[in-house]
Copies of this chain bind each other. A is one copy, B any other.
């Protein structure tokens, strides 16, 4: 792996563990096995690295493959199931889970990050809602609430994972059932 990759790998691990602000450039270069100066050959500042890693943690990334597949799903059930599976697969990297919350937290303090975040968030809701409308005969608001509820439930699973014993598979199945039925 090249130097840049080693920095990113080390930083992802450390950022997840201690948050962006409590991880020092020293921590990162030590973990990456490089010298301090080398870091600045690859990133102009710590904030640049934060932005790059923050992008990786956005839910948008978790869904992108499914959302690119236009019109591939006949039933609402299959679509939601595919979204959910894609989501859980992406976030099987535990570090990305907590990183997402670090991003939500720090975006208030880093304007450019907030801009990126809000854009990806809006795009995801817009796209998700559009796709759901195919299944709920055109009620946009109903579709939006449904999509955001679906997304919120998945995110809440990530966040409260440690507080329960329901498996991902079962959680997703029941969630999909409930949404489908609820939208009927």
Contact = CB atoms under 8 A, between A and B. Distances in A.
Interface string A137-166: 000011011101101111111011011101
Given A104-B101, A178-B183, A22 B109 contact: yes
A164 B140 CA distance: 12
Contacts of A90: none
A161 B133 CA distance: 21
Nearest to A154: B152
Contact of A148 (B17, B125, B164, B183): B164
A184 interface: yes
Interface string A52-65: 00000000000000
9 contacts: A18-B109, A22-B109, A98-B105, A105-B105, A105-B106, A125-B164, A149-B152, A149-B153, A156-B156
